[in-house]
Structure formats: C-alpha cells, structure tokens
Amino acid sequence: MSCGDLIMRRPNGREGFVSILVLFSFLILVSSALLVNTCSDVYGLGSLQGLSSKATALSHQANAVWIDPAEVDISSASAGYRFNVSLWANFSVPSFAWQVRLYYDTAYLRVVRANYTGTGKSQFFASHDTFGVNASINIEKGSMMYGETLIGSDIQAAGSGSLCWVELEVVSLTSKTQLDINNEDTFVLDHDLNFIPCAKSSALVPGTSWTGIYVIGVAPSPVLVNMSARVYGGGATAGASVVALLSGKVDQSLGGDNLTLGSTIAAASGDWEISFATPNVSLGNYSVYAIDNQTSLSDMTAVQVTLEQVPLEVDSVTQSSAQLGTVVTIRGRGAIEGAIRIYFDDVEVPNNSTSIDGSWSGSFSVPNTSFGYHVIKVRDMSSQKTVTAPLFVTSGVQDKPDGIPGTQSVLSVSMINFAMSPVLLYLLAAAVVLGVGVLTVLIFLSRIRK
C-alpha cells in the first residue's frame, strides 16, 4: 500500500474511535496543564520560590497564632528573591472570626501578595460559609492585614488550621529582620465578639548567620514619658532571664549609664515580652537593649522618647463595605486612657473595645439600617475627641437603588470565590473538553454510517 493509498483510505470504525480517544486524552492533558499553571499564578502554588512548610498544629499549643516557618534563611539570596510563609491558628475554644496584621521592614522586604490557604477561604474555616476580604497591603508602612469571619450564628469548633499565605520579596540584605504579628491587630474572636487570649509568634528572617536573642520592636512607638510601653522579641534561651535596658542618649553602646526597664522569663519557644513605664528622661532618640542572661547575648532597637501625645486617628477598618450583621473592626491610636465608645450614625453600638498603650480597637455588628453610606464614630472618653470612618452597607431594609456603582454584595463575593476555585475550574474545563470530545465522536460515527 502506497502512502497515497494510506492517506486516502477511509478509516474503519475501530481505528477512528481509537484515534478520537487519543486526541481526546491529549486535549484533557493540555487543559489540565494550563489550568494548573493558571491556578499557580492565582493562588501562589508552585510559582513561589523558597520554603516548604514544616509546621504542624502540634508545634504550637492552643491558643496560638504563628508564622510558619519560624525562621526564613535568605543568606544566599539576592534582591528580587521571593519566598512565602503561612499563618496558622490552633484554638481549644470555638471561634467566629480572625484577623492578622503582619509588619515588616520596608528597607529589606516587601509583601507582594497574600491569599487564603483554602478555596476562597481559609483552611481553618474550610467547612463553613465565610465573609472574606482582600488582603490590605500598605507598602509605605510595611504592613499586611487580612481577616475572615463566619456568617450569622455559625461557629468554628476547637481545632487548628492554616489561615493564609503571604509572598514576600527581598529588597536588600541585612543581618536580620522580622515578620511581626505580635500586635493588637492580630486576634481571634468568639461568637460574642470577645477577644480570645492567645500567643502570637513572629518569624525571624536572617540575611546572614544570626543566633541568639533578638528584639522585634517597642510599642507604642514613639514612647511617651511616664506612659506604659512594651519591648518584645524572640530567640532567647528557654526559661532564661531576659533584661531590658534603656541606653543613654550620648553613649549608644551597651554599658555606662543604662536604665533597667524590666525583666522577664523567656517562654519555651524563646519568645519574650517586657512591659515598662517610660522613665522620666530628656526627650530624644535612645536604644533599648535586651540581654539573655544565660548566654550574655544581646540585641537592640531604636526608640524615640517624646512628650507629644499621638493624635486620635483611625488606622484601619476591616472592610469598607458590609451587609447587615457583619462584624466590623475599627482600629486606631491616640486614646489617652483607653476608654472609647463606638457610634454608628451617632447611635452607640454594643462593642468589645480594648486599648493598650494608646492604641485602641473595637468590633461591632452592623445594625439594622438602610442601604448606602453610613458613619462610624469613635470617641475618646478622656479627651472627648472623635474620629470618623465611612462604611457602605450593601444590604438593608431598603432595596438597592439602581445605578449606584462600586458596591459588592455577598452574592457577588461568592461568585468571585466560585470563579476562582481551582477545583471548579478544573471541572468546568473537563466538562468543556468532554463535551467537545463527545460531539466529535458523534459527528465521526455519523459520517461512518453514511
């Protein structure tokens, strides 16, 4: 048989069917490969350079929120290198909502993107319907804030799971820097919107070999004379005594006329925190040292001492739009003695408010109100000063008017989550390929019968 005869010969039914199956299998493989690549770009799976997760819930006893891995070695990296970390939670009591704020030094790192570890939600809340938000990344301040809440009367039973992943990029190398979540903007709430006490473990990012105690920061910053503050960090010997010292303005080295701020015993993880009242010293820039008395190693951080009261300000609102009943958290600074009240359109709303070192926060449920823009007002009861923030209510007692742009309901958020789900994308792609394959087979068989 010549080549021409082979080309012109009409295939029999079995040969044609086998050929169609081979073609159909090839199309499925190609579609799957393209889909995996797309999901990698969207969800940060496989495209991120760097480290695989090694933490388990058992590595942090309840109640705790932590960064995994606890140390990211970038000593062999260069500017532009990217790596990812994950945030985890382990709680022995039921929970309803979580929020994390991650601080980083913009001189050395920047956050590129962040997303939930599950399909449109955290793996921690994987079995529930949730109200999610986009990660808030502030490049200037060097922070990333993310959160999630359950809906209605739902509740998450005690347990553990991952919350989100964060991709970071190296800007420049240093001896060490930190990824810090040990702040008041990192929390977990129960269904009554009460804060659940928990440990918050940050991560060390050494650019060169670094061992021993390290300081993450001082809060608030700057510190006010005679007001309470705290210095905190990690890397200390478990069970060792850690002492904090305030250096003199002129002599910035350890030694000389240093003031003892306080001491504590390091936790088993090496984390430590010392609360102190800022000494009555002259205003200016100082250094705070932390010393591990067992190893005699130390580390320091800069701090400014001032008499100037931080103005009452709003730092963040967990979402700019919400529907009725959604839990909204507003946070800020500048409360003199910590007593604040929260008002929704000039009507005080029940809330769980706290204030530490002048920083304040409060969470409340959006009351039964109308669709549209409303005002959240926070009043410092000591100074009687107020600050406001807008909130757009996407559902209310009135139907949504036509022609109002920029709104997004829970339904549209759910559709986004649906559209972005890798599993559903795969099923959709497979269904399309299957339909094309079946149609091709039917057409082929019909031509054979003719």
Q: In CATH, what number is assigned to the domain containing residue 362? A: 2.60.40.10
User: Per the domain annotation, does 136 fall within a domain?
Assistant: yes
Q: Clarify whether residues 62 and 205 are in a common domain.
A: yes
User: Per the domain annotation, does 290 fall within a domain?
Assistant: no
CA dist., res. 398 & res. 387, Å (int): 28
Q: So what's the pLDDT on residue 264?
A: 96
Structure confidence by residue, pLDDT tens digits, 163-204: 999 999 988 877 678 888 888 788 999 888 888 988 888 787
Tokens of 109: 């790192």
Q: Clarify whether residues 9 and 126 are in a common domain.
A: no
Q: Clarify whether residues 81 and 200 are in a common domain.
A: yes
In the structure, what pLDDT confidence band is assigned to residue 248 with cuts at 50, 70 and 90?
low
Q: Clarify whether residues 62 and 204 are in a common domain.
A: yes
pTM value > 0.75: no
CA dist 281 → 224, 226, 306, 447 (Å): 10, 9, 9, 95
User: Per the domain annotation, does 219 fall within a domain?
Assistant: no
Q: So what's the pLDDT on residue 165?
A: 95
Structure confidence by residue, pLDDT tens digits, 345-399: 888 887 767 666 667 888 888 988 888 778 899 988 766 788 888 888 887 544 3
Q: So what's the pLDDT on residue 261?
A: 92
CA dist., res. 154 & res. 150, Å (int): 6
User: Percent of the chain beyond pLDDT 90?
Assistant: 22
Say which residue, 253 or 121, is predicted with more confidence. 121
Residue range of the domain that includes 19: 3-45+419-449
Q: Which residue has the tokens 């702040």?
A: 183
State the average pLDDT over residues 296-323.
80
CA dist., res. 190 & res. 156, Å (int): 9
Q: Clarify whether residues 331 and 189 are in a common domain.
A: no
> Helix 410-420 and helix 422-449: axis angle, to 10°?
60
CA dist 449 → 10, 13, 119, 436, 442 (Å): 12, 9, 47, 20, 11
Q: So what's the pLDDT on residue 241?
A: 96
Structure confidence by residue, pLDDT tens digits, 130-140: 988 888 898 88
